[in-house]
Amino acid sequence: MTCRECEKKIPDFIGRRMDYLGMKRFLEHVDACGSCREELVIQFLIQEGMARLEDGDVFDLQRELQEHLEEARRRIRVHEGILRVGTMFEVLTMAGILGIVVWILL
Ligand SMILES: [Zn+2]
């Protein structure tokens, strides 16, 4: 992902409008790229900060961004866990079918 693509995705990330793959690529870029991480912090502060000012809430946005990032990472881990289990089942099913075929043929 390029910096330009990454910047365009920042509002989607903040608004949680991202699919698993987009989120994964986005986080990989943000982890590796200091200027995009900075851009994310700024946009998060602006977007969430404005919303909070309207609500009149007390807020700790730096921490909230950390939590937002953590949540995204957690979701990626869960998703990858499901993918792994899915692959395992596929392999087991294939092995089962193969076993039956061999059993019939012998
Ligand atoms: Zn970048």
Rounded to the nearest whole angstrom, what is the distance from the C-alpha of residue 9 to the centroid of ligand 1?
11
Residues 65-95: tens digit of each pLDDT? 999 999 999 999 998 988 888 888 889 999 9
Rounded to the nearest whole angstrom, what is the distance from the C-alpha of residue 79 to the centroid of ligand 1?
25
Res 99: pLDDT: 94
Mean pLDDT of the chain: 90
* Residue pair 12/22 in contact by the 8 Å Cβ criterion: yes
Rounded to the nearest whole angstrom, what is the distance from the C-alpha of residue 34 to the centroid of ligand 1?
7
Res 30: pLDDT: 95
Rounded to the nearest whole angstrom, what is the distance from the C-alpha of residue 4 to the centroid of ligand 1?
7
- Does 34 or 51 have the greater pLDDT score? 34
| Residue 30 CB-half CA count within 13 A | 22
Rounded to the nearest whole angstrom, what is the distance from the C-alpha of residue 54 to the centroid of ligand 1?
31
* Residue pair 11/43 in contact by the 8 Å Cβ criterion: yes
Q: What percent of the chain has pLDDT over 90?
A: 61
